[in-house]
Structure 1
Amino acid sequence: MNFRLLLLCCIFLCISNVQAQETTETLLTEAYAKAQAENKNVFVKFEASWCGWCKRMQTQMKDSELAPLFDANYVIVTLVTKETKRLKGLENPGAFELLEKHKGVKAGLPFWLIFDAKGNLIGDSLDAEGNNLGCPSAVNEVSVFLETLQKTSNLSETELQMIGETFRSE
């Protein structure tokens, strides 16, 4: 009897941990509504669990000094895509299609897009030559990143410098 109870508990725990990821459409609809209410833009970042540069960008954006700057200017949406077969369940349905629509499939991860509160694209991670900045770290990549942030936010020059120093220093 104890074995059956233990087995039943294990099955219940396994089932309760399996959750479908929210769809891209749902996440974006919620983000646009929040962005309109808070007078912000929407920063969409595509990532995968295997992507070291994605983790680095996530860490930098959540830095104790930078997180308030990003949060004051953007509603941030993280979409998981391009996972390995074993981890496909982590993907947000529709993320790959959005990535494809904005020419990000072959660009690599992380890939990011910035939309206004109405869903119009106002910035992306492609430089003038069409190369993905990803998680910017080189001086020229960080410069393009900061230009994009400047055009799509109310960040001050001092705040942009703080972001630039963090992204260049790691």
Structure 2
Amino acid sequence: MRSLVLTLTVLCTVLSFSSVKAQQTPAAADQIVKEACTQAAKNHKKVFVLFHASWCGWCHKMDTAMNDASIKKAFTDNYEIRHITVLENGANKALENPGGAELLAKFHGDQEGIPFWLILNDDGSLIADSRMKDPTGKLQNVGCPAQKEEVDYFVGLLEKTSKMKRGELEAVRTRFAKIAPQAAH
């Protein structure tokens, strides 16, 4: 009887550990994008992919701004928003979405820093990304738009890729402009 109890205890522990481990393994980046594209097609939206990491302060500012009550609905009405975790360190490496770094590199964001974002059609094709031309013509990652030129670029892309109305776009502009006083790229 004692060995049966011990065997069942060990079996339950192993199954429990396997279940926890399976739950903790993040979804693959390509699956996240594929699912988002399916939802976008069904809901007549675009896909907004945000590459981020737990340690990234600018990533948190981007999320906070996009989730602000004043503009959240404008984003969720127009985009299937997905996050892909990349560039984690140490123990947080396990938080990364498998294939995330490769997807970031595919869209030329691997040397740009994070946050890095993409706007995709529902077929997964790229419409726009967070790289804006600087005065010399070189592409620079806007990341979390905070400076006036960055916010203008971001709002211009939202205007081209969504059905946001003028008032919604101005609300986005106003919300992201609030980041600037705190910002020191």
Name the TM-score, length of structure 1 as normaliser. Answer: 0.90
User: Residues 92-122 of structure 1, C-alpha deviation per residue, up to 9 Å, x if partnerless?
Assistant: 0111001001111111100000000011100
* Counterpart for residue 133 of structure 1: 142
1:28-67 matches, within 5 Å, as 28-67=33-72
Is the counterpart of residue 105 in structure 1 residue 110 in structure 2? yes
Aligned CA distance change for structure 1 residues 150 and 20 (closer, same or farther; 3 Å)? same
Q: Answer with 1 or 2: which has the greater Rg.
A: 2
In structure 2, what residue type is equivalent to 1:168? A
Residue 85 of structure 1 and its aligned partner are, at CA, apart by: 2.6
* Counterpart for residue 172 of structure 2: 163
Is the counterpart of residue 24 in structure 1 residue 33 in structure 2? no
Distance 1:135 1:35 in 2: 23
In structure 2, what residue type is equivalent to 1:97? E
In structure 1, what residue type is equivalent to 2:144? C
In structure 2, what residue type is equivalent to 1:123? A
User: Residues 25-75 of structure 1, C-alpha deviation per residue, up to 9 Å, x if partnerless?
Assistant: 111111111000100000000000000000010011111121111000000
Residue correspondences, number: 166
The share of aligned pairs that are identical, in percent, is 38
From 116, 125, 142, give the equivalent of 2:121.
116
Aligned CA distance change for structure 1 residues 49 and 10 (closer, same or farther; 3 Å)? farther
* Counterpart for residue 158 of structure 2: 149
Distance 1:51 1:10 in 2: 35
Distance 1:78 1:44 in 2: 6
Residue 15 of structure 1 and its aligned partner are, at CA, apart by: 6.0
* Counterpart for residue 76 of structure 1: 81
Structure 1, unmatched stretches of 5+, are none
Residue 10 of structure 1 and its aligned partner are, at CA, apart by: 9.1
RMSD: 2.0
In structure 1, what residue type is equivalent to 2:108? K
In structure 2, what residue type is equivalent to 1:164? R
3-state SS of the aligned residue for 2:92? helix
Moved more, 37-46 or 61-70: 61-70
In structure 2, what residue type is equivalent to 1:64? A
